[in-house]
Amino acid sequence: MAENNTNTPLIETSAVGFTYQGSETPALQDVTLSIGAGECVLLCGKSGCGKTTFTRLLNGLAPAFFPGRMLGSCRVGGLLAGMRVTCVCPEGYRPAADVLMFAHRYGEKFHLLTDPAEGVKDADVVVTAAWNTAPGTPESERRLRDFAGFQVTSRLMEGAKPDAMLLHCLPAHRGEEISTAVFEEHADEIFDEAENRLHVQKAVLAILLAGL
Protein backbone atom coordinates (compact mmCIF):
# COMPACT_ATOMS: atom_id res chain seq x y z
CA MET A 1 0.00 0.00 0.00
CA ALA A 2 1.35 3.40 -0.95
CA GLU A 3 2.05 5.79 1.87
CA ASN A 4 0.68 9.29 1.60
CA ASN A 5 1.82 12.46 3.29
CA THR A 6 -1.41 14.13 4.40
CA ASN A 7 0.22 17.51 3.79
CA THR A 8 0.65 16.68 0.11
CA PRO A 9 -2.34 17.71 -2.04
CA LEU A 10 -3.86 14.89 -4.07
CA ILE A 11 -5.43 17.33 -6.54
CA GLU A 12 -3.83 20.59 -7.61
CA THR A 13 -4.97 23.02 -10.26
CA SER A 14 -3.31 26.32 -11.01
CA ALA A 15 -5.11 29.00 -13.08
CA VAL A 16 -6.66 26.21 -15.13
CA GLY A 17 -8.97 27.11 -17.97
CA PHE A 18 -10.45 25.29 -20.94
CA THR A 19 -12.09 26.26 -24.24
CA TYR A 20 -13.75 23.53 -26.29
CA GLN A 21 -12.74 23.07 -29.90
CA GLY A 22 -14.97 25.15 -32.18
CA SER A 23 -15.92 27.59 -29.42
CA GLU A 24 -14.53 31.04 -28.76
CA THR A 25 -16.01 31.23 -25.26
CA PRO A 26 -14.05 29.57 -22.41
CA ALA A 27 -16.03 26.89 -20.58
CA LEU A 28 -13.75 27.28 -17.56
CA GLN A 29 -11.50 30.12 -16.48
CA ASP A 30 -8.73 30.66 -13.92
CA VAL A 31 -9.52 27.94 -11.37
CA THR A 32 -6.90 27.38 -8.68
CA LEU A 33 -7.63 24.62 -6.19
CA SER A 34 -5.78 22.30 -3.83
CA ILE A 35 -7.40 19.24 -2.27
CA GLY A 36 -5.67 17.09 0.33
CA ALA A 37 -6.26 13.53 1.50
CA GLY A 38 -9.62 13.08 3.20
CA GLU A 39 -11.03 16.41 2.04
CA CYS A 40 -14.44 16.63 0.39
CA VAL A 41 -15.08 19.52 -1.99
CA LEU A 42 -18.51 20.36 -3.40
CA LEU A 43 -18.60 22.05 -6.80
CA CYS A 44 -21.59 24.38 -7.03
CA GLY A 45 -22.85 26.83 -9.62
CA LYS A 46 -25.50 27.38 -12.25
CA SER A 47 -25.71 25.22 -15.34
CA GLY A 48 -22.94 26.09 -17.77
CA CYS A 49 -20.55 27.51 -15.19
CA GLY A 50 -17.89 24.85 -15.90
CA LYS A 51 -18.48 22.14 -13.26
CA THR A 52 -18.57 19.32 -15.81
CA THR A 53 -15.61 20.71 -17.72
CA PHE A 54 -13.60 20.88 -14.49
CA THR A 55 -14.33 17.22 -13.66
CA ARG A 56 -13.46 16.24 -17.24
CA LEU A 57 -10.06 17.86 -16.75
CA LEU A 58 -9.58 16.05 -13.44
CA ASN A 59 -10.38 12.61 -14.85
CA GLY A 60 -8.47 13.15 -18.08
CA LEU A 61 -11.40 13.12 -20.49
CA ALA A 62 -10.53 16.67 -21.55
CA PRO A 63 -8.65 17.44 -23.67
CA ALA A 64 -7.94 13.82 -24.69
CA PHE A 65 -11.54 12.97 -25.64
CA PHE A 66 -13.13 16.43 -25.58
CA PRO A 67 -10.71 18.40 -27.78
CA GLY A 68 -9.93 21.98 -26.89
CA ARG A 69 -7.33 24.38 -25.51
CA MET A 70 -6.28 24.08 -21.89
CA LEU A 71 -4.53 26.79 -19.91
CA GLY A 72 -2.79 26.44 -16.55
CA SER A 73 -2.01 23.10 -14.95
CA CYS A 74 -3.99 20.21 -13.48
CA ARG A 75 -2.44 17.40 -11.42
CA VAL A 76 -4.43 14.59 -9.86
CA GLY A 77 -3.78 11.79 -7.34
CA GLY A 78 -1.82 8.77 -8.35
CA LEU A 79 1.79 9.88 -8.30
CA LEU A 80 1.10 12.58 -5.72
CA ALA A 81 -0.27 9.87 -3.44
CA GLY A 82 2.82 7.67 -3.87
CA MET A 83 1.28 5.21 -6.30
CA ARG A 84 2.92 3.65 -9.32
CA VAL A 85 1.02 4.81 -12.41
CA THR A 86 1.05 3.41 -15.93
CA CYS A 87 -0.73 5.30 -18.70
CA VAL A 88 -1.65 3.23 -21.76
CA CYS A 89 -2.86 4.95 -24.92
CA PRO A 90 -2.45 4.84 -28.70
CA GLU A 91 0.01 7.12 -30.47
CA GLY A 92 -1.62 10.50 -30.92
CA TYR A 93 -3.53 10.34 -27.63
CA ARG A 94 -0.68 10.99 -25.22
CA PRO A 95 -1.29 13.18 -22.16
CA ALA A 96 -0.54 16.89 -22.51
CA ALA A 97 3.14 17.89 -22.46
CA ASP A 98 2.95 19.59 -19.05
CA VAL A 99 1.35 16.48 -17.55
CA LEU A 100 4.17 14.30 -18.90
CA MET A 101 6.81 16.71 -17.62
CA PHE A 102 5.26 16.50 -14.16
CA ALA A 103 4.90 12.70 -14.27
CA HIS A 104 8.45 12.05 -15.41
CA ARG A 105 9.76 13.74 -12.27
CA TYR A 106 8.70 10.57 -10.46
CA GLY A 107 11.07 8.38 -12.45
CA GLU A 108 10.26 4.68 -12.35
CA LYS A 109 6.91 5.31 -10.67
CA PHE A 110 5.47 6.50 -14.00
CA HIS A 111 5.33 4.65 -17.31
CA LEU A 112 3.75 5.67 -20.63
CA LEU A 113 3.00 2.69 -22.87
CA THR A 114 1.14 1.79 -26.04
CA ASP A 115 0.73 -1.93 -25.25
CA PRO A 116 -2.35 -2.66 -23.08
CA ALA A 117 -1.08 -6.12 -22.08
CA GLU A 118 2.17 -4.68 -20.78
CA GLY A 119 0.30 -1.83 -19.12
CA VAL A 120 -2.00 -3.98 -16.96
CA LYS A 121 0.68 -6.49 -15.96
CA ASP A 122 0.48 -7.07 -12.19
CA ALA A 123 -1.81 -4.04 -11.77
CA ASP A 124 -3.80 -3.59 -8.54
CA VAL A 125 -6.32 -1.32 -10.25
CA VAL A 126 -7.25 -0.98 -13.92
CA VAL A 127 -9.10 2.18 -14.94
CA THR A 128 -10.80 2.81 -18.27
CA ALA A 129 -13.28 5.31 -19.68
CA ALA A 130 -15.34 5.85 -22.83
CA TRP A 131 -13.21 7.05 -25.71
CA ASN A 132 -15.88 6.98 -28.44
CA THR A 133 -17.82 10.05 -27.32
CA ALA A 134 -19.51 10.98 -30.61
CA PRO A 135 -20.92 7.79 -32.24
CA GLY A 136 -21.78 8.03 -35.92
CA THR A 137 -19.30 10.79 -36.73
CA PRO A 138 -16.00 10.68 -38.68
CA GLU A 139 -14.22 11.30 -35.35
CA SER A 140 -15.93 8.21 -33.95
CA GLU A 141 -14.81 6.06 -36.86
CA ARG A 142 -11.24 7.30 -36.44
CA ARG A 143 -11.20 6.49 -32.75
CA LEU A 144 -12.63 3.03 -33.32
CA ARG A 145 -9.66 2.36 -35.59
CA ASP A 146 -7.09 4.03 -33.33
CA PHE A 147 -8.26 2.22 -30.19
CA ALA A 148 -8.50 -1.23 -31.76
CA GLY A 149 -6.96 -3.65 -29.25
CA PHE A 150 -7.43 -1.32 -26.27
CA GLN A 151 -10.70 -2.87 -25.07
CA VAL A 152 -10.49 -4.21 -21.50
CA THR A 153 -11.36 -7.88 -21.91
CA SER A 154 -11.21 -10.93 -19.66
CA ARG A 155 -8.03 -12.02 -21.42
CA LEU A 156 -6.41 -8.64 -20.82
CA MET A 157 -7.39 -8.69 -17.14
CA GLU A 158 -5.64 -12.02 -16.72
CA GLY A 159 -2.38 -10.07 -16.76
CA ALA A 160 -3.42 -8.00 -13.73
CA LYS A 161 -3.30 -9.30 -10.17
CA PRO A 162 -5.98 -11.92 -9.37
CA ASP A 163 -7.80 -9.53 -7.02
CA ALA A 164 -7.37 -6.45 -9.23
CA MET A 165 -10.14 -3.87 -9.22
CA LEU A 166 -11.56 -2.39 -12.39
CA LEU A 167 -12.99 1.13 -12.41
CA HIS A 168 -15.02 3.04 -15.00
CA CYS A 169 -16.44 6.54 -14.50
CA LEU A 170 -19.53 5.72 -16.64
CA PRO A 171 -21.37 5.84 -18.95
CA ALA A 172 -19.79 2.75 -20.49
CA HIS A 173 -19.92 1.64 -24.11
CA ARG A 174 -19.88 -2.13 -23.75
CA GLY A 175 -18.07 -3.80 -26.61
CA GLU A 176 -15.85 -0.75 -27.16
CA GLU A 177 -13.59 0.30 -24.25
CA ILE A 178 -14.79 -2.61 -22.08
CA SER A 179 -16.29 -6.02 -22.80
CA THR A 180 -19.70 -6.94 -21.41
CA ALA A 181 -18.18 -9.86 -19.49
CA VAL A 182 -15.61 -7.68 -17.70
CA PHE A 183 -18.19 -4.99 -16.97
CA GLU A 184 -20.53 -7.51 -15.34
CA GLU A 185 -17.71 -9.16 -13.39
CA HIS A 186 -16.63 -5.82 -11.91
CA ALA A 187 -20.04 -4.12 -11.79
CA ASP A 188 -19.95 -3.76 -7.98
CA GLU A 189 -16.71 -1.78 -8.16
CA ILE A 190 -17.85 0.28 -11.14
CA PHE A 191 -21.17 1.25 -9.58
CA ASP A 192 -19.52 2.02 -6.24
CA GLU A 193 -17.40 4.55 -8.11
CA ALA A 194 -20.48 5.99 -9.84
CA GLU A 195 -22.34 6.10 -6.51
CA ASN A 196 -19.88 8.67 -5.24
CA ARG A 197 -21.60 11.19 -7.51
CA LEU A 198 -24.96 10.32 -5.96
CA HIS A 199 -23.81 11.50 -2.54
CA VAL A 200 -22.48 14.74 -4.02
CA GLN A 201 -25.80 15.35 -5.75
CA LYS A 202 -27.65 14.62 -2.50
CA ALA A 203 -25.46 17.19 -0.76
CA VAL A 204 -26.33 19.77 -3.43
CA LEU A 205 -30.05 19.06 -2.96
CA ALA A 206 -29.71 19.35 0.81
CA ILE A 207 -28.09 22.78 0.44
CA LEU A 208 -30.66 23.98 -2.11
CA LEU A 209 -33.63 22.75 -0.10
CA ALA A 210 -32.34 23.96 3.27
CA GLY A 211 -33.76 27.42 2.69
CA LEU A 212 -37.26 26.27 1.73
Do the beta carbons of residue 116 and residue 85 sit within 8 Å? no
Residue 16 has pLDDT above 80, yes or no: yes
Q: What pairs with residue 16 in β-bridges?
A: 31
Do the beta carbons of residue 70 and residue 57 sit within 8 Å? yes
Split at pLDDT 50, 70, 90, the class of 3 is very low
Q: What pairs with residue 165 in β-bridges?
A: 125
**pLDDT reported for residue 64:** 66
**pLDDT reported for residue 5:** 44
**pLDDT reported for residue 212:** 61
State how far Cα 156 lies from the chain centre: 20
Phi, psi of 140 (to 5 degrees): -60, -45
**pLDDT reported for residue 164:** 95
Give the residue-averaged pLDDT of 116-127: 96
**Average pLDDT across the chain, whole number:** 86
**pLDDT reported for residue 145:** 94
Give the residue-averaged pLDDT of 22-26: 92
Between residues 46 and 121, the one the model is more confident about:
121
Q: What is the pLDDT of residues 76-114, one digit of tens each?
A: 777 877 789 999 999 988 887 877 888 888 899 999 999
DSSP character at residue 178: B
As a whole number of angstroms, the distance between CA 99 and CA 106 comes to 12
As a whole number of angstroms, the distance between CA 60 and CA 96 comes to 10
Do the beta carbons of residue 13 and residue 32 sit within 8 Å? yes
**pLDDT reported for residue 8:** 64
Question: In percent, how much of the chain has pLDDT > 70?
Answer: 94
Pairing of strands 11-20, 28-35: antiparallel
